[in-house]
């Protein structure tokens, strides 16, 4: 006998996340062109790197936006879990793209250390201020309210990287204006890279874990088995526990249990599901009695 507690994916936060991503994409894409021009005119690697980062940000925000729209489509006979997993794939792509950006900036910074170039601090300053304002607004939009969506978190990391880049460019421009020391430009660019990589690794690791059908965060099947045997009267054994996540917000579990002949099977199964929901935050469970 088996029973399914299958809740459709909740999308109460989808329109809100979708709107935040769309506004951030428009702001980022609009200012990107100004930063490219400013970086070329001033000769600043920090601005050029930030402009290149903004280009990938714009792409990542559009990808994140598209992923959320696609996730709203209902499940069909080919994709019985729906399209939610696409948002996890988008988060992985966004995380990996940050590594590619970091490599490019590092290579360019080394070249600048070896062959310093003239930088127009004044132009760099004003473009950096404009970028800082745009990135602050975008970051504020994306971080308003609580969001556990991995895709939104990955897109937010891109914007956060731009925010750090704008701050670095601003500091570098002030140093160059008052001291003329141009190595500060590639130096701060490398510092921004290190900050970005730390966060990018966290997103890549988490999205990869989900795509590899890893157990949901905080789920230990040994602990689950022990709690069910202790807390659910009538359960005499628990076997074949398998847990995974469609997305970060949709953990699932399947298992087999043995039930004492003196207890009602249907009542015991429902109690098992209640324990999984209350103690492990798993609303979708398949429990089979053997």
10 Å CB burial of residue 203 (0-12, 13-18, 19+) is: buried
Q: How many residues does the chain have?
A: 290
Q: Which pLDDT belongs to residue 276?
A: 93
**DSSP strand E in 80-176: where?**
none
pLDDT at 12: 45
CA dihedral 113, 116, 120, 122 (to 10 degrees): 40
Q: Is CATH 1.20.140.10 correct for 2-211?
A: no
Tokens of residue 61, six digits: 């925000």
Which residue intervals of the chain bear CATH 1.20.1510.10? 2-211
Give the C-alpha distances (Å, rounded to integers) separating 164 from 104, 132, 157, 288.
17, 9, 10, 51
Which fold is adopted by the domain 221-289? Alpha-Beta Plaits (3.30.70)
Task: Identify whether the C-beta of residue 167 lies closer than 8 Å to the C-beta of residue 140.
Answer: no
DSSP string, 149-166: -HHHHHHHHHHHHHHHHH
Chunk the chain into consecutive blocks of 10 residues (it has 290) and report each block's average pLDDT, rounded to whole numbers: 46 65 84 76 69 72 81 80 82 84 84 79 83 87 71 78 81 89 85 78 88 90 93 93 88 94 91 92 91
Domain with CATH 3.30.70.1350 in the chain: 221-289
pTM of the model: 0.72
User: What pLDDT is attached to residue 83?
Assistant: 83
Strands annotated E in 41-126: none
């Amino acid at each position: 006998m088996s029973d399914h507690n299958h809740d459709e994916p909740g999308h109460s936060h989808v329109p809100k996340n979708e709107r935040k991503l769309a506004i951030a994409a428009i702001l980022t894409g609009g200012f990107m062109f100004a930063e490219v021009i400013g970086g070329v005119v001033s000769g600043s690697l920090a601005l050029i790197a930030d402009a290149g980062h903004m280009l990938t940000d714009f792409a990542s925000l559009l990808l994140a936006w598209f992923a959320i729209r696609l996730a709203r489509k209902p499940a069909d006979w080919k994709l019985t879990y729906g399209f939610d997993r696409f948002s996890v794939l988008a988060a992985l792509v966004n995380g990996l793209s940050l590594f590619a950006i970091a490599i490019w900036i590092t290579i360019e910074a080394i070249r600048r250390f070896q062959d310093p170039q003239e930088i127009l601090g004044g132009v760099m300053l004003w473009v950096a201020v404009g970028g800082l304002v745009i990135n602050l607004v975008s970051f504020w939009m994306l971080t308003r309210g609580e969001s556990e969506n991995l895709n939104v978190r990955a897109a937010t990391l891109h914007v956060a990287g731009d925010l750090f880049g704008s701050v670095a460019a601003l500091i570098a421009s002030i140093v160059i204006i008052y001291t003329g020391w141009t190595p500060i430009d590639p130096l701060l660019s490398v510092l921004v890279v290190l900050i970005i990589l730390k966060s990018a690794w966290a997103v890549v690791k988490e999205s990869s874990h989900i795509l590899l059908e890893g157990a949901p965060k905080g789920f230990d099947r040994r602990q689950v088995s022990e709690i069910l045997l202790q807390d659910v009267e009538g359960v005499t054994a628990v076997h074949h526990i398998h847990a995974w996540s469609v997305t970060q917000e949709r953990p699932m579990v399947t298992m087999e249990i043995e039930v004492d002949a003196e207890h009602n099977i249907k009542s015991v199964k429902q109690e098992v599901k209640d324990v999984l929901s209350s103690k492990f935050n798993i609303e979708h469970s398949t429990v089979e009695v053997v």
